Structure 1
Amino acid sequence: MRISSALVVVLGLGAPAIASAQSTLPSSCAQTTSAGAQHEGHHYGAAHYAMTLPDGKASLDAARVDLDDHGHMLDGDALTQMLDIASVSLLSAISGHHTMGCHGPWFDRTARSEGTSIVAGARPDLTWRDLTVRSGPVTIHAAAAHLTLAGQDDAPLELTLTFDHVTLSGTGADVLNPDHLTLDVSIPSSALVSLLQVTAGKGAPSQAIQATVRDLTVVMGPTTLRGDGSTTLTGYPDTLSAAGHLSAQHFPDMITRAQDAGLTRPAAAMVIARLVGHRDGDMTRWTVGYTGGVLTVNNVPLPLR
């Protein structure tokens, strides 16, 4: 980020840096803008953070972003780079739109540098407040999204992503909006660069990251879904696979909501899932699998398409 000479004087007096931030990403990857950017030690904050992919097909807006490194290793431009790379990865993962402009020496070098810092002890803690992601006719809004990363040499990198009060419009399934979502996964520490390439730039067809899903929790009104397992992450949905266990508390309430909204196919899939599930009181449990675009519960394929 460029800093004016006047700002350098302010920094010299020991005050936090405040400016309108410039993107650290190549313009062929994504364009970003923000206001009131503030660096102070190992903290970076900004208001009105906005990101758009070059083709204009997807965008991300946050009323406020805050990034702290609790490991006290990242500061200055390293924090801004971490924010931009995390944001373009989140935008691409949610929207399904990828840009090859996020591939190349700059992106790989920067992602590798950030990954090395995390392995060495950096603990990034990033929050997007009042977050909106737009992709074609679909708009996804969350009161807040929160990402933490932690790792160390010869140990898996731990990634936790949460969303609060999510609303979706333009999907036809608004009644299934989650109140809260938590995804807690671990990947080999050496795979962070590959993960960023896969999510932000799609990556090579042969590129795959083995991840352990330690916890997946989705709260939807009275229904709570919880799962764990393993997955192979790629930039191509047809080659993504996953296997594990899933449980649901008060699952019939979720089915009723889908039926009342006229969501015929999702409701039918949930009815089948309940029939083949193992029930214990208000809990329903399954062994689940996903491969080649087909979701199975207790070896029974569900009609999602």
Structure 2
Amino acid sequence: MMSFKAFLFTMMASASTTLMASAHADTLPSIPASCFTYSFHSHQTGENELKASGMHASLTGTDITLDVGNISLKDPQKSVSENQLEHFNAIAAYAALSAFRGGITPACQGLDATNTLHDIQKGTPEALWANIKLDRPNHTMTLQRVSIKATQTNPLLRLKISGSGIHDSKQPLIPSSLTTDLSVSPKVGSFQTVTINSFHSISGESSIDAQGKVDMGSSAATSKADLHVSINNISAFDDRLHQIAPTKVIAAIAIARMMGHHSGETTSWDIELEGGTVSVNGVPMPISLPH
């Protein structure tokens, strides 16, 4: 097992292109600067498209940041304006930062970045990121390329995401590439529900698949999850594990494998998170979760 811009008023579409440099940090209509901000070094707009360089985003009051070298956004249906594309991009940045943190910050509690989905319901915006870095103290994740496509915008936001060239300073077994299909529901109460319709990733010669639902709270300890995870070619995964993982990780995976459901070279687990307790195949695990 493995330890994972909102939508503004419509701008007038123009076939001509303008070049602008950001002089200050921006945020989303429903998210104040006390929660999240982003800025571009420069960005260029055209009709239903936007290209940018040097995006920097952060969760305010934390040392958690996101930097993206180059960004390209478009709406193939030509129904989403340049300003709305920018904020679709910002929602993706906010979600990436929150996931990297492991939950929503206290400053962002009760806020919903998806509550203006009606702004893009006529389109299917797409974002392409290159040279990405997520950073926090003693932990850095880099990705060469990420693609984000909204295949459905009403009533849920459904996203197909792929990433490649992935490296994590703290997780040597993190997949080098992944694809996932997610559905994001409007926020209800203190939770943001994300349904994982499918998840497929490559780690060495093995693959990892998952599906399920996550109710994201303020931290891993206050979140809920119901997931099914499987590792294919488990023998190759074990071999790689012994080459690069710390002893405690090797021991934890060995225990997890014994608890798994086995079918040939595939081992799977049903994982639940409730009330700060992680259960694997119905057995509570002594795992300490960050608050």
* TM-score of the two chains, using structure 1 as the length reference: 0.77
Cα pair 1:273 1:302 within 8 Å, conserved: no
Whichever residue aligns with residue 50 of structure 1, its letter is H
For structure 1, the 5+ residue unaligned runs are 1-10, 196-205
- 1:35 maps onto 2:41 in alignment: yes
Give the match for residue 60 of structure 1.
66
Question: Structure 1 residue 301: deviation in Å?
Answer: 4.0
Greater CA drift, 255-264 or 65-74: 255-264
Matched residues, percent identical? Answer: 22
Determine the C-alpha separation between the residues in 2 that align with 1:103 and 1:263: 35
Change (3 A) 1:216 1:304: farther
Question: What is the alpha-carbon root mean square deviation over aligned residues?
Answer: 2.8
Deviation of 1:60 after TM superposition, in Å, equals 1.0
Q: Provide the residue aligned with 1:183 in structure 2.
A: 180
Whether 1:272 and 2:275 are equivalent positions in the alignment is: no
What is the CA distance between 1:215 and its match in structure 2? 0.6
- The alpha carbon displacement at 1:304 in A equals 4.4
Gapped regions of structure 2 (runs ≥ 5): 1-12
Give the corresponding residue for 2:281: 298
Name the SS for the 2:41 alignment partner: strand
Report whether the alignment pairs 1:240 with 2:223: yes
CA distance in 1, matches of 2:144, 2:124: 23
Change (3 A) 1:98 1:232: closer
Q: Contact 2:151/2:160 (CA < 8 Å) preserved in 1?
A: no
Query: SS state of the match for residue 241, structure 2?
Result: helix
Does residue 115 of structure 2 align to residue 112 of structure 1?
yes
Name the aligned partner's letter for residue 135 of structure 2: R
User: What does the per-residue CA deviation read over 1:76-95, in whole Å, with 9 as the maximum and x for residues that have no partner?
Assistant: 32222222232123222213
Alignment partners' CA distance in 2, 1:297 and 1:96: 19
Matched, 1:46 2:52: yes
User: In the alignment, what sits opposite 1:166?
Assistant: 166
Asked if the contact 2:104–2:219 (Cα under 8 Å) also holds between the matched residues in 1, the reply is no
Deviating more after overlay: 294-303 vs 176-185 = 294-303
| Greater RCO (Cα-Cα under 8 Å, separation 6 or more) | 2
CA deviation map 1:222-258 (0-9, x unaligned): 1101111233232332232222422211123323333
Q: Deviations over 1:7-57 (max 9, x none)?
A: xxxx98x53111213543154344433234110111111112122343351
> Structure 1's 266 and 67: CA in aligned 2 closer, same or farther, altered over 3 A?
same
The residue type equivalent to 1:145 in the other structure is V
The residue type paired with residue 259 of structure 1 is: H
State the shift of 1:101 in Å.
Answer: 5.6
Separation (CA, whole Å) in 2 of partners of 1:165 and 1:247: 22
Tell me if structure 1 keeps the 8 A contact 2:221–2:277. Answer: no
1:238 and 1:43, CA in 2 relative to 1: closer, same or farther beyond 3 A? same
Check if 1:216 corresponds to 2:222: no
Mapped contact 1:258–1:264 kept (Cα < 8 A):
no
Q: After superposition, where does 1:148-167 map in structure 2 within 5 Å?
A: 148-153=149-154, 155-167=155-167
Aligned residue for 2:34, secondary structure, equals coil
Alignment of 1:73-112 (within 5 A): 73-96=79-102, 98=104, 111-112=114-115
Residues paired across the two proteins, number: 271
